[in-house]
């Protein structure tokens, strides 16, 4: 009997290993362990999401963000048009690893995933909505919008077998296709996870789900490795909480939902097993006398900004930025910080864009301070902890980290027709050196340069490489080069924000007369603006190369070359460390 059990266990492990290899769909590009890095699983700290209720914004917009901070993920985007379907049509479900990327010689990711069919086909709906997606669905024809952040779950909850048919990417795509409101998107994703199982390549995940009226925090987790559809139990456990209209909130890879009140249906939704599963898994004891707390049961995270030397600073920093009057201290445990807060002021889309670039400037967690930032105050040096002489040291993990694939800021605006009201502001690459470009919900195509590209193969046909070229030439002499970048951002990004009301008005007026022409107008505007920005960034990269060539300063106007202005503190440290002696003064 014992031998049979051992053999059976071996077979199960073998099947799971083979299944994971087969269904993972090709080369996996998660960061490899680093012998000197303190954080071996950087991909779990890979996204920040900001949420703004309609009464917390300057113009009534509902906003979400997503900093896709993977560092090795596929960065390409797609536009999926609306479609009508016959009663007998089926929707195929694919396994999509959000961290997966493939060499261009193999093919583009969004074609390759068609080879990762889960075996599940669900009934198609009569009409699916058009939408824009990258690693996740971001906005559809109804202004339903999404931002994503991995939050993790208790280890015993994970289900990495191929049995669950849905992962977080696939859930967002189906939600984009079928939802008219944020609540409908949440119910769609929750019910699909319950019925068909959620997990495989994903663990606990958070989505900011919004429409033109409201924004919700939706969190979903697997139901354990032994779940099967035949069990009759839900294949996922999930919960959603609405952000009050006059509040702002954030998710920095940490569960954000605490105590829940399912009787308040205007602010809470959940799967039927939301509490019972925690009891079953011994993650919550109803006899304890304590109220059920979602995050403490399913994804506890007993850390603080100060206690981690800034590696978990983003949650505190957000509240420090939006509500300094609350005086939250960096020593406050993250799990004790509020779900949301009424900010000290209202925020515009431009304000939120700048917030995605925040690097804890002016605080003890500023990564550019002192020696870490080098002579030219580069906040992107050493963006992860390290090990030295057997000891582990943390560094600040800021909101504007330097490994972003792209950043999105979505705006949903109720006073405009949906094709005009919805905007996905998209910036490729690192936030501090990139430029946000508008993609209206009403567009019918996106630039070809948005649809291609790879981390390991340079291509001038890929928009991302224009921004990475600027980023590369900025890093060496950051404090000097970033000034040129910011001037370019003012010219191209701020100007796009400023002319948005005029674009809105013209498009909305045209939409009343001819919706097709209005959509074409918006498409032409977005394509033209994107191409101008991309060309401007290629040119900016060339300018930076010339200006700081060979670590000198070349002035194109005067045609003179000047030495770099090193700061005194750096020169003093150099003298001390290298034991330099001054030249004798000539008498």
pLDDT in tens, 285-314: 999 999 999 999 999 999 999 999 999 999
* 13-24 average pLDDT score: 36
How confident is the model over 541-574, as pLDDT tens digits?
A: 999 999 999 999 999 999 999 999 999 999 999 9
CA contacts within 13 A on the Cβ side of 209 = 31
Whether the per-residue pLDDT at 8 is higher than 60: the answer is no
Task: Please tell me the least confidently modeled range out of 76-90, 246-260, 319-333, 573-587.
Answer: 573-587
Q: Residue 537 corresponds to which tokens in the numbers above?
A: 């960034």
Report DSSP letters for 296-362, one per residue: HHHS----BTTTTTTTT-HHHHHHHHH-GGG---TTSBGGGS-S-B--SS-B-HHHHHHHTT---TT
**Eight-class DSSP state of 366:** -
Virtual torsion, Cα 258, 259, 265, 269, nearest 10 deg: 50
* pLDDT at residue number 381: 92
* pLDDT at residue number 32: 44
Cβ(413)–Cβ(40) below 8 Å: no
Cβ(127)–Cβ(160) below 8 Å: no
Q: Are strands 62-68 and 406-412 parallel, antiparallel or unpaired?
A: antiparallel
* pLDDT at residue number 385: 87
CA contacts within 13 A on the Cβ side of 472 = 13
Whether the per-residue pLDDT at 365 is higher than 80: the answer is yes
C-alpha to C-alpha distances, 17 to 11, 93, 404, nearest whole angstrom: 10, 21, 30
Q: Residue 74 corresponds to which tokens in the numbers above?
A: 């596929």
Whether the per-residue pLDDT at 18 is higher than 70: the answer is no
Whether the per-residue pLDDT at 4 is higher than 80: the answer is no
* pLDDT at residue number 101: 87
Q: Are strands 205-210 and 215-222 parallel, antiparallel or unpaired?
A: antiparallel
* 241-260 average pLDDT score: 98
Q: Are strands 62-68 and 47-52 parallel, antiparallel or unpaired?
A: antiparallel
pLDDT band at 177 (very low <50, low <70, confident <90, very high): very high
How far apart CA 108 and CA 454 sit, in angstroms, is 9
How far apart CA 463 and CA 216 sit, in angstroms, is 32
Cα 583 from chain centroid (whole Å): 53
How far apart CA 24 and CA 152 sit, in angstroms, is 19
* 450-462 average pLDDT score: 96
Cβ(58)–Cβ(347) below 8 Å: yes
Task: Please tell me the least confidently modeled range out of 99-108, 418-427, 461-470.
Answer: 99-108
How far apart CA 342 and CA 378 sit, in angstroms, is 33
Q: What is the largest CA-CA distance in the chain?
A: 98
How confident is the model over 192-211, as pLDDT tens digits?
A: 999 999 999 999 999 999 99
* pLDDT at residue number 586: 79
Cα 585 from chain centroid (whole Å): 58
State the CB neighbour count (10 A cutoff) for residue 247.
21
How far apart CA 498 and CA 489 sit, in angstroms, is 13
How far apart CA 582 and CA 446 sit, in angstroms, is 60
C-alpha to C-alpha distances, 71 to 31, 35, 74, 201, 430, nearest whole angstrom: 8, 18, 9, 17, 10
- Provide Rg for the chain, Cα atoms: 25
Whether the per-residue pLDDT at 51 is higher than 90: the answer is yes
Q: Confirm whether pTM is higher than 0.75.
A: yes
How confident is the model over 216-237, as pLDDT tens digits?
A: 999 999 999 999 999 999 999 9
Whether the per-residue pLDDT at 15 is higher than 60: the answer is no
In three-state secondary structure terms, 408 is strand
Cβ(142)–Cβ(181) below 8 Å: yes
Virtual torsion, Cα 545, 550, 551, 555, nearest 10 deg: -60
Report helix angle 478-489 to 463-475, nearest 10. Answer: 140
Cα 404 from chain centroid (whole Å): 8
Cα 357 from chain centroid (whole Å): 13
Sign of the C-alpha dihedral computed for residues 554, 555, 557 and 559 taken in this order: negative
How far apart CA 161 and CA 167 sit, in angstroms, is 12
- Nearest CA-CA partner of 312 in 4, 39, 37, 7: 39
- Summary mean pLDDT of the chain: 92
Cβ(398)–Cβ(496) below 8 Å: no
* pLDDT at residue number 44: 56
How far apart CA 214 and CA 219 sit, in angstroms, is 16
- Nearest CA-CA partner of 400 in 378, 423, 370: 378
Report helix angle 495-513 to 515-547, nearest 10. Answer: 160
Whether the per-residue pLDDT at 7 is higher than 70: the answer is no
* 164-179 average pLDDT score: 98
């Amino acid at each position: 009997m014992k031998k049979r059990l051992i053999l059976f266990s071996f077979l199960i492990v073998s099947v799971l290993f083979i299944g994971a290899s087969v269904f993972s769909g090709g080369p996996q590009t998660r960061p490899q362990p680093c012998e000197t890095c303190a954080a071996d699983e950087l991909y779990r700290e890979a996204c920040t999401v900001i949420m703004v209720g309609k009464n917390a914004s300057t113009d009534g917009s509902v906003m979400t963000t997503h900093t896709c901070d993977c560092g090795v993920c596929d960065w390409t985007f797609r536009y999926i048009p609306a479609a009508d379907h016959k009663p007998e049509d089926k929707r195929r479900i694919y396994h999509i690893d959000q961290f997966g990327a493939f060499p261009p010689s193999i093919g583009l990711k969004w074609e390759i995933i068609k080879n990762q069919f889960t075996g599940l086909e669900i009934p198609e709906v009569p009409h699916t909505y058009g939408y824009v997606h990258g690693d996740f669905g971001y906005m559809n024809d109804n202004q339903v919008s999404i931002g994503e952040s991995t939050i993790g779950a208790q280890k015993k909850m994970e289900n990495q077998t191929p049995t669950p048919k849905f992962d977080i990417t696939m859930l967002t795509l189906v939600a984009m296709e079928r939802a008219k409101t944020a609540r409908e998107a949440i119910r769609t994703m929750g019910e699909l996870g319950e019925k068909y199982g959620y997990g495989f390549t994903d663990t606990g995940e958070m989505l900011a789900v919004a429409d033109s009226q409201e924004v919700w925090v939706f969190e979903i987790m697997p139901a354990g490795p032994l779940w099967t559809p035949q069990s009759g139990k839900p294949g996922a456990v999930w919960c959603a909480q609405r952000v009050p209209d006059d509040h702002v909130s954030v998710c920095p890879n940490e569960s954000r939902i605490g105590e829940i009140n399912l009787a308040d249906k205007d602010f809470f939704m959940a799967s039927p097993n939301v509490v019972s599963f925690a009891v079953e898994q011994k993650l919550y004891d109803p006899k304890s006398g304590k109220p059920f707390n979602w995050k403490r049961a399913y994804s506890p995270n007993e850390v603080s900004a100060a206690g981690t030397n800034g590696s978990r600073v983003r949650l505190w920093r957000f509240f420090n930025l939006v509500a300094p009057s609350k005086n939250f201290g960096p020593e406050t445990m993250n799990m004790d910080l509020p779900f949301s807060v009424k900010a000290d002021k209202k925020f515009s889309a431009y304000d939120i864009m700048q917030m995605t670039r925040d690097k804890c400037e002016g605080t003890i967690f500023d990564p550019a301070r002192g020696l870490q930032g080098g002579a030219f105050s580069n906040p992107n040096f050493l963006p992860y902890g390290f090990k030295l002489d057997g000891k582990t040291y943390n560094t600040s993990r800021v909101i504007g980290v330097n490994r972003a694939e792209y950043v999105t800021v979505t705006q949903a605006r109720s006073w405009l027709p949906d094709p005009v009201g919805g905007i996905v502001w998209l910036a490729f690459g690192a936030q501090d050196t990139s430029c946000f470009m508008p993609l209206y919900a009403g567009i019918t195509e996106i630039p070809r340069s948005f649809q291609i590209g790879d981390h390991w193969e340079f291509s001038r046909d890929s928009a991302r490489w224009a921004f990475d070229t600027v980023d590369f030439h900025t890093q060496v002499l950051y404090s000097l080069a970033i000034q040129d970048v910011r001037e370019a951002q003012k010219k191209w990004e701020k100007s796009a924000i400023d002319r948005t009301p005029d674009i809105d008005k013209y498009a909305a007026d045209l939409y009343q007369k001819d919706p097709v022409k209005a959509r074409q107008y918006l498409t032409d505007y977005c394509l033209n603006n994107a191409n101008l920005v991309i060309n401007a960034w290629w040119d900016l990269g060339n300018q930076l190369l010339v200006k700081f060539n060979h670590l000198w300063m070349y002035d194109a106007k005067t045609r003179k070359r000047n030495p770099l202005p090193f700061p005194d503190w750096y020169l003093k440290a150099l003298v001390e460390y290298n034991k330099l002696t001054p030249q004798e003064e000539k008498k």
